[in-house]
Amino acid sequence: MDDSRRNKYGQSSDEIPEPPPPTRQYFEPQQPAPFPPLPPAMGYPPAMGYPPGYRNGYDQQHYQQGPPPSPDMYYAPPHCPHQDPGPPSSFAILTTTMLFIFFTFIVGLVLMFLIARPKFPIFHVETLAVTNFSVANDDFTSAWEINLVVENRNFGANVHFDRIQSFIYFNTDDLLASSHFDHPTKDVTVKANEKGTIDIKLSTADYKQSVPAPGKRVMEEMRNIRETGVVPFSLRAFAWSQIETGLFYTETKHIQSRIICEDLKVHFEGDTGNGKLNGKSKDCVVDL
């Protein structure tokens, strides 16, 4: 017999017995053992949970908790797509129009207030020159030339001077000379926010026709002060003027004012009778 047909136990295929046919076996299900009776309830029942060693199908060695979430994911702003605001509503247009009308009305009121309530101009003596000043015995002679500057402070009003009458005083009370009533001979108009000049000329040659000659007391005092080289004078003037106001039409206001310029100190040149105003210009006071 061929050895190749023998198995590892030395048996040939003919010597191996046939296995018996399988038999069916039936098993009777066993009844589970009854649970012991529960103890009487005392308070709350114990918490129910999984028994020790219970595994719910997930391998805990493969389940690892991930890193904590970033704070940005909780506070990230919601994404809002760009929306076209569209044309303004009728309410917005009405509100803008009403604000524009209100602003225009306020500006108009301010302009009308500035124009309808004009300010009278201010004056100051720019220059004062004295010539032929002489006090001898009972004879007094002198001449004054004054440059009076007018500053119109109004926004939309012109000032027109019809007439001006001026008076020159020694110190503040003793009248020395006066001008003609219709002086100046030419009209003087000062436009809004501009300056003008009024030239005033006075002389003692006219005092006999306008004012009486100064008394002896006044002449003696002037003679003594003249020796110091500085003589104080004062200028007073009455002005008849017109103020032209109006934004859409012209309205004329007639104003009569009194101009007072005091403490005009004139420095004389040696023993001559010529002198001029000392220092800068002097402001005047206007009395309406």
Q: pLDDT of 240-264, one tens digit each?
A: 988 877 656 567 888 889 999 999 9
119: its two tokens: 């300010």
- Mean pLDDT, residues 170-198 taken together: 80
Q: Which residue has the higher pLDDT, 35 or 124?
A: 124
Task: Say which residues have a Cβ less than 8 Å from residue 234's Cβ, sequence separation at least 6.
Answer: 168, 169, 170, 171, 172, 260, 261, 262, 263, 264
Pick the closest to residue 134 from 243, 32, 223 (CA basis). 223
Q: pLDDT value at position 10?
A: 60
Quote the DSSP letter at residue 103. H
Our CA angle for 96, 97, 100, nearest 5°, is 85
How confident is residue 276, by pLDDT bands cut at 50, 70 and 90? very high
Q: Which residue has the higher pLDDT, 239 or 16?
A: 239
- For 95, left (φ over 0), alpha (ψ -120 to 50), or beta? alpha
Q: Which residue has the higher pLDDT, 10 or 166?
A: 166
Is residue 101 over pLDDT 60? yes
How would you class 174 by CB atoms within 10 Å of its CB: exposed for 0-12, middle for 13-18, buried for 19 or more? Answer: middle
How would you class 264 by CB atoms within 10 Å of its CB: exposed for 0-12, middle for 13-18, buried for 19 or more? Answer: buried
Is residue 275 over pLDDT 70? yes
Whether the link from the prior residue into 184 is cis, omega within 30° of 0, is yes
Comparing 65-74, 106-115, 170-179, 219-228, the range with the smallest average pLDDT is 65-74
Mean pLDDT, the chain, integer: 76
Is residue 284 over pLDDT 90? yes
User: How far is Cα 220 from Cα 203, in angstroms, rounded to an integer?
Assistant: 20
Comparing 58-72, 130-144, 247-261, 267-281, the range with the smallest average pLDDT is 58-72
Is residue 23 over pLDDT 70? no
How confident is residue 63, by pLDDT bands cut at 50, 70 and 90? very low
How many C-alpha atoms does 90 have within 13 Å on its Cβ side?
0
Q: pLDDT value at position 271?
A: 85
How confident is residue 127, by pLDDT bands cut at 50, 70 and 90? very high
What pTM does this model have? 0.59
pLDDT, tens only, 211-227: 677 888 899 999 999 99
How would you class 277 by CB atoms within 10 Å of its CB: exposed for 0-12, middle for 13-18, buried for 19 or more? Answer: buried
